[in-house]
Amino acid sequence: MSTWHEYIQATGQIPEWPYPINYDKVNEVMADVLVIGGGVAGLQAAINAVKKGVKVAVAERGHAKRSGSGGAGVDHWHGAVTNPRSKVTPEDYTLGCYESMQGWTGGNVRYIITKESWDTLLECEKMGVQIRDVDDEFNGANFRDEETKLMFAYDYQSKHMLRIWGYDIKVKVYEEARRVGVDIYNRMMVTSLLNEGGKQGGRIIGATAVDTRTGEFNVFLAKATVIATGGAGRLTLFSPEMTASGAMSDMNSAGVGQAIGWNAGAEFVCMEGSGPGRLTGLGYAPYSMGNASNTYHGTPIIDADGKEIPWVDPFGRELNTVEDRFIPQKGQQFQLGIGIGISHTNKEFALNDISADLPERLRKGEFKLPLYADLTLLSENERRVIFGMMVGNEGKTRIPIYDTMTRAGFDPGKDMLQVPVMPLEGYFNSCYWSGGPNTPSTVRMLGGGGFLVDWNLRSNLEGLYIGAGNTLFGGGCHGESHTTGRYAGRHAAEYARTAPEPLANRQQIEAERNRAYTTVKQGKDGNGWKEINAAIARIMRDYCGRHKNEMTLNLGLRLLDELKTTELVSAYASNPHELGRLLECQALISVGELAIKSSLERKASNSVLDFHRLDYPEMDPPEWNKLLPIRQENNKVVIRELPLDFHLKAPYATSYEENYQRYA
């Protein structure tokens, strides 16, 4: 007996809510630094703030031991350019990302990441994460350094991407946070940031949250706050019955950090950017099927008759050997990995891959479906490092894939893993499991935009710092989250050491408390959270999709407001779990408004942001080659203009390194 249905069939009883509920109780927590979000970024922020001698509280949505997109593990670490074997400098790496994005990514954040990524990983090693082949399992492999025992990924020549055994990285970081004395508050659905004087745009002095087990209200007061939350996965697609198991972030990804920041007056850029929703979970169980991308990079793909699909370099030249797949080719200095928070990679930095004309060659009959990933063709070291080391340590692979599949008899030395059978255009991208044509073109994800921060990773608001993955303009994925979290935590603590005590505005807190509990205190006939969430996603798909104009965007805003003032305001939550989910719906609407309002302000189409204004169809007009920081003041939109290279202009120094030395 495992499920609720089985329980009822067996006992005839409906089980009561297992935790004591007290919606009227208010708890107050005082800290020097409050960290919102207890994923890898948040815990790194907390650990590094504590090291500066301040008192730190973490407000975590789930349970910090295993929560967050990075909580399920990681198999490789990007941008470790200062490791002793790396042939790439922080400047080169930063420029590779910045130029690939034609300037549409935060250069300051990227440089900070490349300067400190390796140091951050070394600290993870001290916490107990295995980052070297200490057991000599891969002795003699061409991706292993004999002396340091570091294991390189993807580009074995440039050596700035490292393979690591990170299946338990979150547990180790969590244990370290506990050891150094971080106070962790789990099951906290954060509903708002507190501004000094209760005024939007004022200094941030804490936050409010609802406990999603007990329903109690928590007021956090802190001298400094770090937002370390994840993405807004439920904003444009809500179909968890189909997608939750295939997604690379969990259900708690509701854009809460962006929402509370936006409502408190924080500034954002590029929230008008979006991209195809490849990883929204409409594909297959991650890493469960044949593919040749990322974790499976280098894997031979064969057709139904055993004929191998050629690997090519980014310029389309066929590669002759397996070894060639892992080294830069003519015209390249080094290669960048994928999953580093940039949506474009210039050919001079791109990875080798399966030939992109595969769909056409399948259509012509040169290759026959189904395709297979044939790991048996690789050397034992390459095979084992892909299926055994990387699959086995990457997020959602140790139990869900390695353990599950080997128990079912799969042996990478004997078996060929089938690639999904799908419409031919799906074979354009070698990450075949991620969905391709299984994801309708209406489903898009926010891409590239986030909080605008300075060289301290501080937002425009005094006391508010950001350390996160894609919540941050210029951020990335797993390693980048650790690194920016660590940096933001340090800087928040430094500020907190001399900052004045937070003085709460009781009116702001009471107003927020009233707002937060509406849905548990009214008629029980209102909509549930899933109904509302699906409607939000519908509005965003229709009115903030690939093609927009001023009228459709305004209609979208109107409908979000309609939803807010009718279905959502009369919604009903029967327990604290549903209350948390409904509060997330309110956050999603805020993020939706932020995306639409940002879209209204950019009166030009933009290819890098994949932004198409039907009323301004000219692509990339030079006069719009600028960031448009957006924020709210007195609940009205305020826009300014900022050059793409603002991070190297006054008041900052003109070089990356000089700024880093000045601010780090």
Partner 1 sequence: MSDKSYILPNPPTPNKAVEFNPGICIGCNLCVDVCPTDVMMPNPEKGKQPIVVYPEECWYCAGCVEECPRPGAITMLHPTQQRISVNWKRKDSGEYFRLGMKNPPPPNTRPPSG
Q: Does 407 bind partner 1 (CB under 8 A)?
A: yes
Q: Measured from the CB atom, is 2 or 320 closer to partner 1?
A: 2
Q: Does 68 bind partner 1 (CB under 8 A)?
A: yes
CB neighbour list of residue 567: distance below 8 Å, 6 or more residues apart:
526, 527, 531, 532, 535
Tokens found for residue 171:
């547990």
Instruction: Select from 55, 65, 278, 478 the one that contacts partner 1 (CB under 8 A).
Output: 65
- DSSP 3-state of 444: strand
- In the complex, minimum distance from the CB of residue 243 to partner 1, in angstroms, rounded to a whole number: 9
Q: Does 343 bind partner 1 (CB under 8 A)?
A: no
Q: Measured from the CB atom, is 314 or 395 closer to partner 1?
A: 395
Q: Measured from the CB atom, is 3 or 320 closer to partner 1?
A: 3
Q: Does 102 bind partner 1 (CB under 8 A)?
A: no
Of 58-66, 334-342, 423-431, 461-469, which part binds partner 1 (CB under 8 A)?
Answer: 58-66
- In the complex, minimum distance from the CB of residue 72 to partner 1, in angstroms, rounded to a whole number: 4
- In the complex, minimum distance from the CB of residue 21 to partner 1, in angstroms, rounded to a whole number: 13
Q: Does 149 bind partner 1 (CB under 8 A)?
A: no
Instruction: Select from 126, 408, 524, 635 the one that contacts partner 1 (CB under 8 A).
Output: 408
Kindly identify the residues of this chain, within the stretch 564-583, that bind partner 1 according to CB under 8 A: 577
Tokens found for residue 364:
């012509």
Kindly identify the residues of this chain, within the stretch 488-547, that bind partner 1 according to CB under 8 A: none
Q: Does 289 bind partner 1 (CB under 8 A)?
A: yes
Q: Does 58 bind partner 1 (CB under 8 A)?
A: no
- In the complex, minimum distance from the CB of residue 146 to partner 1, in angstroms, rounded to a whole number: 18
Tell me the longest C-alpha to C-alpha distance in the chain.
72
Of 202-210, 413-421, 549-557, 653-661, which part binds partner 1 (CB under 8 A)?
Answer: 413-421
Cα gap 514→198, rounded to integer Å: 15
Residue 347 sits at φ, ψ, to 5 deg, of -55, -35
Cα gap 328→350, rounded to integer Å: 9
CB-based contact 290:417 (threshold 8 Å): yes
Of 236-244, 454-462, 557-565, 620-628, which part binds partner 1 (CB under 8 A)?
Answer: 236-244
CB neighbour list of residue 322: distance below 8 Å, 6 or more residues apart:
298, 300, 377, 378, 379, 382
Kindly identify the residues of this chain, within the stretch 575-634, that bind partner 1 according to CB under 8 A: 577
Q: Measured from the CB atom, is 19 or 624 closer to partner 1?
A: 19
- In the complex, minimum distance from the CB of residue 370 to partner 1, in angstroms, rounded to a whole number: 8
Count CB neighbours of 305 within 10 A: 7
CB-based contact 564:527 (threshold 8 Å): no
Kindly identify the residues of this chain, within the stretch 19-38, that bind partner 1 according to CB under 8 A: none
Kindly identify the residues of this chain, within the stretch 163-192, that bind partner 1 according to CB under 8 A: 165, 167-168, 187
What does the CA dihedral 599, 603, 608, 612 come to, rounded to 10 degrees? 70
Bond preceding residue 576 cis, omega within 30 of 0: no
Tokens found for residue 102:
């034609």
- In the complex, minimum distance from the CB of residue 1 to partner 1, in angstroms, rounded to a whole number: 6
Q: Does 400 bind partner 1 (CB under 8 A)?
A: yes
Cα gap 267→633, rounded to integer Å: 10
Cα gap 373→419, rounded to integer Å: 7
CB-based contact 208:219 (threshold 8 Å): yes
Number of chain positions touching partner 1 (CB under 8 A):
79
Q: Does 71 bind partner 1 (CB under 8 A)?
A: yes
Distances (CA, A) of 84 to 23, 129, 135: 54, 19, 20
Q: Does 428 bind partner 1 (CB under 8 A)?
A: no
Q: Does 381 bind partner 1 (CB under 8 A)?
A: no
Pairing of strands 372-373, 301-302: antiparallel
Q: Does 455 bind partner 1 (CB under 8 A)?
A: no
Amino acid found at 152 = F
Query: Sign of the C-alpha dihedral, residues 522, 526, 529, 535?
Result: negative
Q: Does 269 bind partner 1 (CB under 8 A)?
A: no
Instruction: Select from 95, 285, 648, 653 the one that contacts partner 1 (CB under 8 A).
Output: 285
Instruction: Select from 395, 479, 526, 592 the one that contacts partner 1 (CB under 8 A).
Output: 395
Count CB neighbours of 628 within 10 A: 18
Q: Measured from the CB atom, is 287 or 646 closer to partner 1?
A: 287
CB-based contact 418:233 (threshold 8 Å): no
Cα gap 204→196, rounded to integer Å: 6
Instruction: Select from 261, 314, 328, 420 the one that contacts partner 1 (CB under 8 A).
Output: 420
Q: Does 1 bind partner 1 (CB under 8 A)?
A: yes
Of 216-224, 248-256, 329-337, 538-546, which part binds partner 1 (CB under 8 A)?
Answer: 248-256
Cα gap 584→578, rounded to integer Å: 10
Kindly identify the residues of this chain, within the stretch 191-220, that bind partner 1 according to CB under 8 A: 212-213
* Sheet (strand 636-639) strand order: 450-451, 268-269, 630-633, 636-639
Q: Does 90 bind partner 1 (CB under 8 A)?
A: no
